[in-house]
Structure 1
């Protein structure tokens, strides 16, 4: 077995791992590995319970964690175990590795709390525990790591291939962590944090990147942030912060500042910049720099406000939208180096001043600018807009701007949106001189006069919205020259005359509300002017057209065969495309409330507040569609399945399977961003929780016996009566659910794979959880229904003993010692009474318990021939009840 210092199988995306100090010797008592080996394990005779073989991404996670680490781990400086399948809790014994500088445990399936013992790692510089299933409070003892520079608690996925984030901590961020003097990066978006940020801070501040977005943090934005002169990235968006932004905050020196979707108010007054340069120091630690670049780059994948120059090197954004800021617009002076694209979002606030030249001071510090001022109470005119030559996009819709809409000398302007204001006068023809203009929206104003034909000189124009004004005259025929014009909306004006020919088929609704305008007869019904002039030539060409049509008819007949073939392929593709809609496919008589939008709304967009469990196939959420009508939604990652069409066929097969001890699959949805299965909700939790609470619950032997029989009957049905036959391959307590009356239901019964009716089916992967996987399955990667029998026996042993299959109490024995080995040892020693939990031995006769133990041990026999079938097990368990 490898020692805990074995190099990791894979490295996390991003910075390459540095040189790892090694030389650790194997401990006197070997421990289970932290990660699975890269090849199939040796035969069972050499390793009775080897780790699983390599498996595809659909397989469940497995290996156990370590209970102790060797003394020589003290020389280890870098430990990277990211992107593995490590389960259980983070080993507190990692604190023995006193020289650790980098500890990366991200993208695993660790549960429980962050061990406070890690505070003893005095040399720790980087701690990354993101993308696990951690809970409980963040230990304040971590503040003892005075050299800690990077703390990554959560990290939201930024691309489809990323691991999802399931950490859901309790309580707030310990105030002591923010006082670590050398902390550069604090990254904890969507971490379920509440409480308040500290109002004061002792000592100097080295923070460069703080991401606490999508939490439940209340209170005010702390004023001590203005003392963090190196701060370049601050994301406090989607919290419940109140009050003003701190006066003196050096906004112009920050490349990313996001406080959208809070309840902030007051005037937005940045610091008075006395120096054009920001006094930011360089990061002298290569690892910290790599983390900074990777995290910040991932958070800024989407450029602000759409269209931005492709030639820019850097992107900067300040987002103050969706708050209650009021008063004048802020004056922000950028102090950013290099070719920068800048986005300023002030929309959906209560700014009530006018546009001034001082507001556009930021235009001197960037090569392309995007500004959003929509949904405010701004007044005045647009005279100062031309002072920002680098403007790419300007949105001031739904304000109270008045006067003329004349805008000139903006050579890079692509989007100008002035919808819903009080603009008057005629549309200036100079808009046609804006060579880069792509979108012009002047709708819902009070514009008069005619549409200037000079607009056709804006050759890149793609969308022109002039609806709901008071325009008159005709639509310029020159619009037929605009090759990229896809949207032309002139509805609800006083226009007259013909609708010109347009290169893209128009929507007739875009011309409604103009009584004097000639009717719209559909796409391209009006011909261009040159066609009308040459109408006499058209008559002469009709004879030629007849000949062409005749020849075309013969060609079409020949092509019909090819067309039929193409249609068949298109139907196949259409079927796949139809699957990726918002449709929810249901089985049986599903209620009308079972829709995609209702499910997303009921889970609060899959919020961690509705999270009820995680597993190898994804996370499960509770959704109450109507009062009293609850379902469980298992959100999947489509990348874990071989093909969409195959996945659809398999799920439809599962939807037809019904048994009183199987969780009911009610429906499913396959989409571009969300893929989930919908099950009936069971309020009793899972068997794993039940086992470890038996000592404190008033449970009868009848209830325990019923749970065992229910699971055995469910497996018997899958193995013997189900068509096609299904081998579960991941039987464990967390996959056995209970209702309020403690009836048991088997879940995830078809997600490992569907099996045809064969005795043994060779596979290329092992789907299962370490400790429950049959030895022959792990060693040979070949599965049979007897592998499920083995896993059921392990579950039965756990239920009777109250111990886990790899219980910490087994650390005193040799490597490979599990609950199966322990049960056999006690039977050989004739001391079976020690095996059963105290609560179970009180409610059940000892002879019945001993006989059930023998059934479980026969199920976990190393020989397939000696294991009974599930039908035999179910019959024997039912017989036990009659023997009481």
Structure 2
């Protein structure tokens, strides 16, 4: 007798016994209950459909009151995106995700609406996939009560609000992807629930903030099934939880692009199956990852990618790194690592990328590194390396070694010559005449003494001349010039070229004064900003302050070429930019090139300028009046920030005590307007408003907002559209049609984070620049 035959009789005996013992009316009641459940599933799906207010391609057109979605005996359904269990005739899958290759550039096949809590009544649902639609608003916490749900995909839906804690209490959920939304607040405590079944958790590219914490009730750490964890590109702070090291099956850990601080927990060395580790770009100053690289990382035999760049890691590179035979990419750049490059790094035979640049690594370049046959990208620049460069198996870029003053010159034919600037002695051979060396040193010392004396005289002479020049400029009509000023820049030429500041040459006006176009010599144009003299006093103080601004040079800041200070008149002379200002570019219909590539480039340029003012200037400069009219363009639409530092002049040299806010209504941060307390975060808020204008083509106080009431601005309008799931309505039609939608929505999320009312939650300009650079240009 076969095994199946042996099982067959008892099974049917039991079945018939149950049927015999079951009253007829109870059997009919069960059948009736099943029909009612089917009808209920249809009701809840139609309730969800009612929450969709935009379906331009009629994706849900097949969803009707009749027939029932699960009326046939197969798993397929006549309702688009719906799948049923053929036995229970219950809805088990709702998949409306449009594959990337199937998305239309104008968003024609994108659904818009809110996530209805009615979906939580589909009690047999195993798969819920609504990715890359415009189902914005909050995630219904009731979804966490779906005991059969295994896959939840809501990425790229413009969802906002916090993540429901109930999702992490689910015992059935295997796959959770909430990436590329605008989810905020902290991640619920205990998100690494040891009793859960999660295998994939992706919360990347949101606005999540706060510190990571683990559930006190989950003493065993994270679920053993977790293989993929991504929290990258948020605003998470604090320490990396040590209990991540209990995720014994984790293969990918992505924590990059946050604000983590403290040390990398040594418990990560327990992740024996880890293949990809990325904790790079935790960029906020004062809050970087620090400490040593855990030596136990070298025990992770399957590790393929170690990406820890742009932190504040110290100590030496562990020798154990060389034992990672599976390692493909090692990026430890932009840290403060010291010591030597491990000689056994060459044991990692599969290495393709080695980036150790911008550290303080010393010693020689190990020949074992040069022997790596798969090495495709190497960067050892800006360290303290010395000695010869060994011959590499493949052609190398000499830029990979620059910034190492004691390293031999880059070899042309496998031979490395010593550097000319290496200090003496390199090596003194026996029998060498020491008196010659001493004479040489004495001669050098004497020459240096004479040279220092000459330089001192020259310095005193130049300093004296500069002081006399500045004093003379106060008595006479002398334009003080800076580096890069044209030869014809003097008072008489400025007055002549501007027509004595005639209206015909006026190209702009603002709170600090009016700006005029002037052609000093044929073919050389400058912009002259004539300051409102009544607003300033203290000529000598002004002179000292403006000289500080004259030393500032950056590729995205207008160049101050000179200035004139008199008792009755003051003006500044800048380089002229023929592309007009950003306000004209955004709001005039005749302006072309309003496409993603250009808008992204302009945003990056301005963010670069702001980051330089906030972090590289001493003392640092807060602009206080970021707006489109203060952003100038050249012929190639490169952007330049103007009027930087002038708010400081206004504050220090006004003729009377005042509490006026330097800035423009509609762009001023709420805390600055109410308290007059200035910080770099006020500039971030204004920059966020500029981003919203770039994306929408509307003004910060656009007349179209009047229907919402007085005081309604572009920030409130953007919040309203995002909350109602209509984010796509914010973008100008031509910009949204040309796309790419993912990048546009990502920039909208960034603008939203810049314009939050809470100063502590607002990102820094460094973080804003980092986020912009991550977007696809």
TM-score, with structure 2 as normaliser: 0.44
TM-score (norm 1): 0.39
Q: Which has the higher contact order (CA 8 A, sep 6+)?
A: 1
